[in-house]
Amino acid sequence: MKKIVVNDTNVFIDLFSVGLLEEFFSLPWEVHTTDLVMLELTKEGQGDTVGKYRQDGRLHVPTLEGKDMIAIGQLKALHEGKTNVSIADCSVWYYAKQNKYVLLTGDRKLRKASVLDGVEVHGIIYVFDNLVDTDVITTEVAAIKLRQLASINPRLPKHR
């Protein structure tokens, strides 16, 4: 069975920043996100680049109905002050939970809240591990790209 993953904004931004979006979309995964995440991809052509994968069918972006948006708003309100996650983060959390999909995020608050809510969550290192394990990239390329990402992403530890 093909793994289905739901991406939040920062995973797309991280992969875009180090030039690994094409490699990511070649993993044997079905990739989903929400319209709210797509709206957050605003810098340096991020939205256009990620949007191409939507156009060619490799990125699935469901149409969230009114009842879904109400539930997402309630999820945000319920956790306001505790986790302070964005509405876009709540949308992928909700979508992953409703469908029992894996959530990919680099956001610590979203990760913590989602895990407590029973959602399987992984981050960018998991993505890199899978890129290497499936021979999409070599360990050498992974090391270079991780160092590059760590130099521009304050969430990741700096390594030499």
Per-residue pLDDT of the chain (160 residues; tens, 9 = 90+): 679 999 999 999 999 999 999 999 999 999 999 999 999 999 989 999 999 999 999 999 998 899 999 999 988 888 776 667 889 999 999 999 999 999 999 999 899 989 999 999 999 999 999 999 999 999 999 999 999 999 987 776 655 4
| pTM, to two decimals | 0.91
Angle at which helix 139-152 crosses helix 9-17, to 10 degrees, equals 110
Quick check: 117 and 110 in contact, CB under 8 A? no
